[in-house]
């Protein structure tokens, strides 16, 4: 987002859409994170109080994506191994999922399944290309489409609109353009305001806002937004590998990827052959 929107503009964008409150565990963890010396024992204790988050963290840490020699059996071990920031990013992403699981969203199994796949794939891609904060890439992968459940709650025909948006996506028309035309808002901007209201790092909020704006981002010659470009590149590769165009868009072809593939792969320094090999190895890990 190039500029701050006024309160009136935000109200217009979110008209009829209620952004869920930030889960309390995220508030508690963020308070611990800003301390001069975050206490890893306190962080582990907070997480341990929530069986769902504890199980999710252990599942992530012990997944093939981390490639650990020995299984981690305790939350304290996981926190000590990953460090404060990585654990908090992973838990924030998981608690977001848990907070949104009302009756409407529970039925959206394909949405949450693809979000988890994209998140794990982002984590792997970030490590493969040497991004310094792979846990942030994971958080972006799980949270990038958080506006979709909120849009569904507001617009009963939203999934039909989203399928049309994926079908129409090309070098001239973004997925969000179709949403804007038919609904006067889109899931990327709704996701941005949700992420921002929950105090996620601003650069992740910016990536959420721009995740269907890849073509114009990569056509800019400036290196000013190197972090944004890298996060978007990781996310777009992960979405393509995991077949978001099939799962969410109900399409046989990934029209958006076709329009940005060359720029994305050039930016991260991969040939098409390299990417295909990477895609196959990620599928072997069980994602996509």
Tens digits of per-residue pLDDT, 127-186?
999 998 888 998 899 889 988 888 888 888 999 999 999 999 988 899 999 999 999 999
Distant-in-sequence contacts of 154-157, Cβ < 8 A, 24+ apart? 154/16, 154/17, 155/183
Query: Model-level pTM?
Result: 0.80
When pLDDT is cut at 50, 70 and 90, the band that residue 288 belongs to is: low
Q: What is the mean pLDDT of the chain?
A: 84
pLDDT value, residue 152: 86
- Domains along the chain with CATH numbers: 20-99 (no CATH), 103-288 (1.10.3210.10)
What does the pLDDT look like over 85-103, one tens digit per residue? 888 888 877 777 666 655 5
Quick: pLDDT tens for 233-271.
999 999 999 999 998 899 999 999 999 999 999 999 999
| pLDDT beyond 80 at 23 | no
* Confidence category of residue 231, pLDDT binned at 50, 70, 90: very high
How many of the other CB atoms lie within 10 Å of CB of 57? 23
């Amino acid at each position: 987002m190039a500029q701050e929107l006024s309160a009136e503009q935000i109200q217009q964008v979110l008209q009829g859409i209620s952004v869920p409150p930030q889960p309390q565990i995220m508030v508690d963890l963020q308070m611990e994170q800003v301390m001069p010396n975050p206490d890893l024992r306190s962080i582990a204790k907070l997480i341990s109080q929530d069986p769902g988050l504890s199980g999710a963290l252990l599942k992530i840490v012990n997944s093939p994506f981390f490639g650990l020699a020995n299984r981690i059996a305790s939350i304290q071990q996981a926190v000590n191994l990953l460090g404060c920031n990585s654990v908090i990013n992973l838990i924030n992403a998981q608690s977001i999922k848990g907070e949104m699981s009302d009756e409407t969203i529970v039925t959206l199994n394909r949405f949450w399944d693809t979000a988890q796949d994209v998140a794990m794939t982002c984590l792997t891609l970030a490590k493969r290309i040497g991004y310094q904060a792979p846990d942030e890439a994971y958080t972006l992968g799980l949270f990038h489409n958080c506006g979709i459940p909120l849009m569904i709650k507001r617009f009963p025909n939203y999934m039909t609109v989203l399928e049309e948006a994926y079908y129409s996506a090309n070098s001239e028309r973004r997925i969000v353009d179709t949403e804007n035309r038919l609904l006067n808002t889109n899931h990327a901007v709704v996701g941005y305001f949700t992420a921002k209201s929950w105090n996620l790092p601003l650069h992740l909020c910016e990536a959420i806002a721009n995740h269907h704006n890849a073509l114009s981002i990569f056509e800019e010659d400036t290196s000013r937004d190197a972090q944004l470009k890298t996060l978007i590149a990781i996310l777009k590769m992960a979405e393509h590998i995991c077949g978001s165009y099939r799962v969410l868009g109900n399409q046989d072809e990934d029209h958006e990827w076709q329009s940005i593939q060359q720029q994305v792969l050039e930016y991260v320094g991969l040939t098409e052959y390299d990417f295909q090999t990477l895609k196959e190895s990620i599928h072997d890990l069980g994602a996509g």
